[in-house]
Each structure stands twice: as C-alpha cells, then as structure tokens.
C-alpha cells in the first residue's frame, strides 16, 4: 500500500491494513486490475486520486446534517480519532501496474482480505471494471454475500480479448465464487452486454436482472422486495448512471438511474442487512468537466455508502 499523506478520502486518517484500530470502514484505491493493453494504464487509473480530491469539497461539512444520509456523519470535533470511529480510515492505494495483471489482482485481493480479517468493511475506489473480481474474491472465508450491482451492462462475458478477468466478466467470475450466493443487477440497458446466452446464463445461475426501464417503472422498494441474504457487497460501475448526469465514463449509455436513485438503493440495501463491502469503478477523470462534477458525484456516493457501512 502507498502512503498518500493528507490526500485521504474525506480527510480520514491514514492507516496500515494491520492497524485499523477498530475503524468500521477502510477505504483503498485500486487503479487497475486486468488492463487489456499491458503497455498502457487503465482509462480509470487516476480515478481514486480524483475521487479523493473531490471529497475534500465537503469534508469540512461532516458535522452538518446530510440529507442524502438522513443523519449527521460526524458528531463531535473534526479530529482524526472522531473520523476514525465515525467513518473509518484510508489505507492508500494498492500498488498496481499495467504490466502485472496477475500481481495486481493478488495485491487487491490480499488488501481487501486484510481489511475483512481486521473486522472492517472495505470500500474500494477503482479503477477499471475488472477491479470487482479480486475485491469479491477476497470475501472467501468472509461470506456468504449477495452482490448488488449498478451497471449499464450485465458483465457475464466468459472471455474478452483473450482473458476472462477483464471488464465485461466481473459478474460471471463473481458467480463462480462459492461465497457469492446471490446477485441483483440493476440499470441494465442498451447494447454492449453481450449475446443473449450470457444473459440466460446469468438468470440460470440465479441473478435477478432489472433493466433501467423496469427500475424506473417499479421503483427501488419493489426491486429490492425479493433481495436475498443479509450481507451485501455494493458494486457501482459509473457507466450505470445516466450519462446526462455522469458522462465521464468509457462507455456512456443513454438512460439509466440518477444520483438520487443510487442513494435510495443504498438506503434500501442497508435497511435489509449489512453492506459489508463496496466498489466504485469505471469513472474516467479525463472525460470529466473542468469542475470535476462526476468526481464529486462519485465521492458523494462513496461517502454515503461509507457512512451506511459504518453505522451497521
């Protein structure tokens, strides 16, 4: 892990994985897991740093009431000890390189596993959409878990460009982990989710696929009514959001949920059990605007998720 000094998410204290000191949540960045071109960094490689930077816009307001959280994130002074107890710590970034996909996956898996062993909930800031594979692999011995994914795409490809461990395959790989016992996939729409056999495989395994149109028609409470399990890992691929509100992604797809829909979803999940882990992936900083509004949106979603995880 790298020491990122003061550039932590929400100004949380920096900590080592073996020194969480009772922190309920541990933030860690994972720039890339399995890039398709080993000569180039992922299009989302700078996303963890950009999301952390955006979180500094509202870190000084954590003692105010947060209407998205429906609570006050921090009671008491804005001190490292209070932040650690109320929300958690930031571990920095897992060391990754485009030329070492296998090593990247192992280091991400081991870092997340160390957080779980310490009794905290990991919140991973990606990084490309292959990051959920090693993050979910780390829950071996810490399951069972149900995955709740927001994405424009089903991600049940068996192999793309010679690998089954890159983007397009995370949910198929997740379904192969014995500790993943349920899956809800929301916001699916458009093209780019593969051929029909992939979706048949997903449904045959037991994944519930809810299109963006059905989510809008039914509402969040209805789509969560049959959610199985009581331990959940939330996975957000930022292209799952409506590109009218979040255009800074690699594969923008018209339609999809808004920010408020994702916040409602997080509250609905938390009301049904514990959010024991989360991954925010596929934000592309180079495609953001000059005000970094997409980074701010990703940071706000991560902040609400972290507070709900800490209040379990």
CA distance 285 to 251: 13
End-to-end CA distance of the chain: 26
The alpha-helical segments, DSSP class H, found in 118-167 are 132-137
Domain housing 271: 9-310
User: Of 63-67, 156-160, 164-168, which gets the smallest average pLDDT?
Assistant: 164-168
Is residue 166 predicted with pLDDT exceeding 90? Answer: no
Q: Give the containing element (helix H, strand E) for 301.
A: helix 293-310
Instruction: Give the pLDDT of residue 107.
Output: 97
pLDDT in tens, 153-162: 999 999 888 8
As given in the structure block, the two tokens for residue 199 are: 């979706």
Residue among 220, 217, 157, 158 at smallest CA distance from 184: 220
Instruction: Give the pLDDT of residue 192.
Output: 86
CA 49 remoteness from chain centre = 15
- Asked if residue 150 belongs to a domain, the reply is yes
The overall average pLDDT reported for the chain is: 94
Instruction: Give the pLDDT of residue 46.
Output: 95
pLDDT in tens, 195-245: 999 999 999 999 999 999 999 999 999 999 999 999 999 999 999 999 999
Residue whose structure tokens are 């979180």: 55
Output the furthest CA–CA distance in the chain (Å, rounded).
54
- Asked if residue 227 belongs to a domain, the reply is yes
Q: Give the containing element (helix H, strand E) for 89.
A: strand 88-93
CA 134 remoteness from chain centre = 12
Give percent above pLDDT 70 in the chain. Answer: 98
- Asked if residue 246 belongs to a domain, the reply is yes
- Asked if residue 1 belongs to a domain, the reply is no
Task: Determine the Cα angle at 228 with ends 27 and 171, to 5°.
Answer: 55
Instruction: Give the pLDDT of residue 177.
Output: 98
Q: Is the peptide bond before 206 cis (omega within 30 degrees of 0)?
A: no
pTM for this predicted structure? 0.96
- Asked if residue 259 belongs to a domain, the reply is yes
More confident residue, 52 or 193: 52
More confident residue, 254 or 5: 254
- Asked if residue 207 belongs to a domain, the reply is yes
Task: Determine the Cα angle at 78 with ends 76 and 79, to 5°.
Answer: 100
Provide the domain count of the chain. Answer: 1
Instruction: Give the pLDDT of residue 2.
Output: 63
pLDDT in tens, 5-51: 558 999 999 999 889 999 999 999 999 888 767 767 788 999 999 99
Q: How far is CA 192 from CA 11, 126, 127, 157, 252, in A?
A: 37, 21, 20, 10, 10
CA dihedral 145, 178, 31, 47 (to 10 degrees): -30
Give percent above pLDDT 90 in the chain. Answer: 87
The mean pLDDT value for 303-307 works out to 98
pLDDT in tens, 75-125: 999 999 999 999 999 999 999 998 899 999 999 999 999 999 999 999 999
Domain CATH code at residue 36: 3.40.800.10
Residue among 5, 12, 122, 24 at smallest CA distance from 62: 12
Cα torsion angle, 160, 164, 168, 172, sign: positive
- Asked if residue 108 belongs to a domain, the reply is yes
Enumerate residues 6+ apart whose C-beta is below 8 A from 157.
164, 168, 169, 172, 194, 198
- Asked if residue 3 belongs to a domain, the reply is no
Query: What does DSSP assign to residue 21?
Result: T
Instruction: Give the pLDDT of residue 148.
Output: 98
Tell me how crowded residue 68 is: count the other CB atoms within 10 A of its CB: 17
Instruction: Give the pLDDT of residue 3.
Output: 56
């Amino acid at each position: 892990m790298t020491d990122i000094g003061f550039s932590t998410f929400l100004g949380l204290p920096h900590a080592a994985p073996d020194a969480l000191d009772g922190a309920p949540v541990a933030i860690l960045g994972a720039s890339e897991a399995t890039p398709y071109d080993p000569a180039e960094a992922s299009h989302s490689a700078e996303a963890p740093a950009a999301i952390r930077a955006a979180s500094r816009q509202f870190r000084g307001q954590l003692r105010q009431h947060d209407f998205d959280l429906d609570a006050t994130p921090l009671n008491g002074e804005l001190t490292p000890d209070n932040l650690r107890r109320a929300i958690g710590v930031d571990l920095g970034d897992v060391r990754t390189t485009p030329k070492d996909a296998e090593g990247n996956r192992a280091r991400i898996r081991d870092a997340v596993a160390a957080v779980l062993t310490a009794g905290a909930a990991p919140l991973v800031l990606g990084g490309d959409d292959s990051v959920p594979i090693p993050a979910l692999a780390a829950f071996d011995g810490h399951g069972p878990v149900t995955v709740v994914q927001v994405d424009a795409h089903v991600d049940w490809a068996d192999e793309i460009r010679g690998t089954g461990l890159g983007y397009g395959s995370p949910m198929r790989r997740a379904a192969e982990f014995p500790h993943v016992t349920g899956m809800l996939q929301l916001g699916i729409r458009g093209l780019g989710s593969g051929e029909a056999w992939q979706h048949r495989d997903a449904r045959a395994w037991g994944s519930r696929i809810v299109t963006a149109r059905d989510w809008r028609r039914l509402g969040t409470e209805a789509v969560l009514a049959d959610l199985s399990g009581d331990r959940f890992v939330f996975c957000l691929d930022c292209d799952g959001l409506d590109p009218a509100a979040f255009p800074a992604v690699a594969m923008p797809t018209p339609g999809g949920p808004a920010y408020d829909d994702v916040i409602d979803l997080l509250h609905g999940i938390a009301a049904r059990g514990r959010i024991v882990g989360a991954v925010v992936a596929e934000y592309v900083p180079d495609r953001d605007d000059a005000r970094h509004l997409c980074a701010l949106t990703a940071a706000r979603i991560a902040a609400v998720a972290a507070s709900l995880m800490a209040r379990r």
